[in-house]
Amino acid sequence: MADVKWIKIAVDMFDNRKIKQIGSMPEGDSLLLMWVQLLCLAGNVNDGGFIYLTKEIPYTDEMLATQFNKPISTVRLALKTFEQFGMIEIINNMIFLSSWEKYQSTDRLATIREKDRERKRRKREAEKLLPQNSMECPRTSMDVPRLDIEGDIDIDIDKDKNKSISKKSPRHKHGEYQNVLLSDDDLEKLKAEFPADWDQRIQRLSEYMASSGKSYKNHLATIRNWARRDKPAAKAAAKSAGEQDMTDLDKYF
């Protein structure tokens, strides 16, 4: 049975009359702690409020003492008290929490149980596909289909994604010094963006790298970046030339 990671506990739990009576007993604090531990154990078993190690092995007083790390006398007192207060029942030697269905989200717990059954069914089907002769085909972790499920969500792995590896287009050498590397696609983009002087821009980069010893990872991106930086300088030069022309005209007026 699939265990759950939570149980519901009412915020006014300690206002309950039975809880108050138990808390007033000489070992009340230990008994109340054991009640919460029983709730958690029932959630771990997740079988409608029953508590057992397996369906064939019910918990004994000694086993609960080991489970909760408590003296067996405290365990027996707690079970006797809870049974007297109608909080638990003993059915077929198994402990059953009487109010489990009332306070827990049983529909949600049933969903978790159903998912657990489905996971086990899929695992059995996967194991049937494994080779029967373990000597000829040793079983490894690679032989078993991945059935990991986290947060009750089935994760399907698309194996084809790993096969689609894009191949980069080859780059060719350009420029006087054959040091500007551009793919055919890069060159077409360069011609489209700078139809008037694309070859001059390649030459400019080639000369600069040859003289400075610098290198760049992406030469198309470098040419584009230089073009963006050239625009403000060109505008400033044009503005300066216009102002100079106006100064020359002043001579004649």
pLDDT for res 237: 63
108 vs 6: which has the higher pLDDT: 6
Confidence of residue 107 (pLDDT cuts 50, 70, 90): low
Q: What is the mean pLDDT of residues 23-44?
A: 90
Beta bridge partners of residue 154, listed in sequence order: 149
Beta bridge partners of residue 180, listed in sequence order: 174
**Stretch (H or E) spanning 150:** strand 149-150
Task: Report residue 13 as tokens.
Answer: 């739990």
Residue 33's CB is within 10 A of a number of other CB atoms, namely: 15
CATH T-level assignment (fold) for domain 13-106 = Arc Repressor Mutant, subunit A (1.10.10)
Query: Which of these, 128, 141, 103, lies nearest to 6 by C-alpha position?
Result: 103
Q: How far apart are CA 161 and CA 253, in angstroms?
A: 76
pLDDT in tens, 141-160: 444 444 443 444 344 444 44
Q: What is the mean pLDDT of residues 106-114?
A: 58
pLDDT in tens, 57-84: 999 999 999 999 999 999 999 999 999 9
98 vs 152: which has the higher pLDDT: 98
Q: In sequence order, what are the residues at sequence separation of 6 or more whose Cβ sits closer than 8 angstroms to the Cβ of residue 176?
A: 203, 206, 207, 210
Give domain limits for the chain. 13-106, 171-252
pLDDT in tens, 169-181: 798 999 999 999 9
Q: In sequence order, what are the residues at sequence separation of 6 or more whose Cβ sits closer than 8 angstroms to the Cβ of residue 50?
A: 42, 91, 94, 95, 96, 97
User: What is the value of pTM for the model shown?
Assistant: 0.41
Q: How far apart are CA 169 and CA 192, in angstroms?
A: 19
Residue showing tokens 């992406």 = 218
Average model confidence (pLDDT) across the chain: 76
Task: Report residue 33 as tokens.
Answer: 């702690």
Q: What is the mean pLDDT of residues 108-125?
A: 63
pLDDT for res 79: 94
Q: Note the Cα 121 to chain centre separation in Å.
A: 25
Q: How far apart are CA 9 and CA 19, in angstroms?
A: 13
pLDDT for res 110: 58
CA atoms within 13 A on the CB side of 216: 19
Query: Which of these, 33, 39, 29, lies nearest to 8 by C-alpha position?
Result: 39
Q: What is the mean pLDDT of residues 178-196?
A: 91
Tell me: pLDDT of 119 over 70. no
Q: DSSP assignment, residue 87?
A: S
Q: What is the mean pLDDT of residues 110-116?
A: 61
